[in-house]
């Protein structure tokens, strides 16, 4: 069920080009620990030498969550005061934090022959209903770079606005646990009256990739 909205949105941008693909796994990384070998040698002076030990860290760097999960940010400018949709959305994928806005790389269905796609979701409250205030982005930009053929849906809480194929989407960071970037679009309300120019940035918690066979 959590992929239903994503698949519907992706259908709106079929045929968009891709600048590349990413690996097929995501999530928290764990540090690897390696022990240095210990050697002993005895000379005429009776001295003994030892090797050192080192330990690696991963994920948040010191064991904590990455900032995309602890301090998520999804903004909308151009429709009054800046709006923030930093929470996770109801029935949608989440990353290391179940309350943070999230994004992931994937394809809309098994045996997909098109390019891999990125999805970004943020709601006004954690596990919030999208119609109560949200922003979602999707586009065939599964690596750092820019596409001008993405789609966006913005719900102000009173009106829903969409752009289905001419949104500029830039991905500036595509890490193991964080996805960041920006967007720019002219959106039309679902009632069809007028247009609104919106833009903003996002820094969200990366969920597991959805890449079925």
| Residue 31 forms part of a structural domain | no
| Residue 195 forms part of a structural domain | yes
pLDDT score of 203: 97
| Residue 36 forms part of a structural domain | no
| Residue 182 forms part of a structural domain | yes
pLDDT score of 192: 76
| Residue 132 forms part of a structural domain | yes
pLDDT score of 194: 87
Domain of residue 112 covers: 4-13+69-206
Percent of the chain with pLDDT over 90: 56
181 within 8 A of 122, measured Cβ to Cβ: no
140 within 8 A of 119, measured Cβ to Cβ: no
| Residue 114 forms part of a structural domain | yes
3-state SS class at 60: coil
CA 80, CA 110: separation in Å to the nearest integer? 41
3-state SS class at 199: strand
| Residue 202 forms part of a structural domain | yes
In terms of Cα–Cα distance, which of 71, 53, 101 is closest to 207? Answer: 101
What value does the mean pLDDT take over residues 107-112? 81
H or E segment to which residue 5 belongs:
helix 4-11
CA 205, CA 152: separation in Å to the nearest integer? 19
Is pLDDT at 20 greater than 90 in this prediction?
no
Per-residue pLDDT reduced to its tens digit, 125-172: 999 999 999 999 999 999 999 999 999 999 999 999 999 999 999 999
How high does pLDDT run on average in the chain? 77
CA 118, CA 178: separation in Å to the nearest integer? 13
| Residue 121 forms part of a structural domain | yes
CA 169, CA 116: separation in Å to the nearest integer? 15
pLDDT score of 124: 96
SS (H, E, C) 152-176: EEEECCCCEEEEEEEEEEEEEEECC
How many independent structural domains does the chain possess?
1
Q: For residue 179, which phi and psi values (nearest 5 degrees)?
A: -125, 130
Residue with tokens 């005895």: 42
Is pLDDT at 200 greater than 50 in this prediction?
yes
């Amino acid at each position: 069920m959590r992929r239903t909205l994503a698949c519907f949105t992706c259908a709106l941008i079929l045929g968009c080009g891709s600048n590349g693909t990413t690996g097929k796994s995501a999530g928290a990384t764990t540090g690897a620990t390696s022990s240095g070998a210990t050697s002993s040698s005895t000379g005429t002076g009776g001295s003994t030498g030892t090797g050192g030990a080192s330990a690696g860290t991963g994920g948040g760097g010191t064991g904590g969550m990455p900032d995309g999960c602890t301090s998520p940010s999804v903004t909308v400018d151009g429709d009054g005061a800046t709006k923030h949709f930093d929470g996770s959305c109801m029935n949608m994928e989440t990353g290391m934090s179940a309350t943070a806005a999230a994004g992931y790389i994937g394809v809309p269905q098994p045996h997909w022959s098109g390019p891999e796609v990125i999805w970004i979701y943020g709601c006004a409250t954690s596990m919030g209903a999208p119609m109560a205030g949200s922003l979602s982005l999707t586009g065939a930009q599964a690596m750092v770079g820019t596409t001008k053929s993405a789609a966006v849906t913005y719900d102000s809480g009173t009106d829903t606005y969409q752009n289905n194929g001419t949104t500029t989407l830039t991905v500036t960071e595509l890490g193991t646990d964080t996805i960041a970037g920006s967007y720019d679009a002219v959106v039309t309300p679902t009632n069809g009256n007028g247009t609104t120019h919106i833009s903003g940035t996002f820094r969200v918690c990366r969920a597991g990739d959805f890449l079925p066979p």
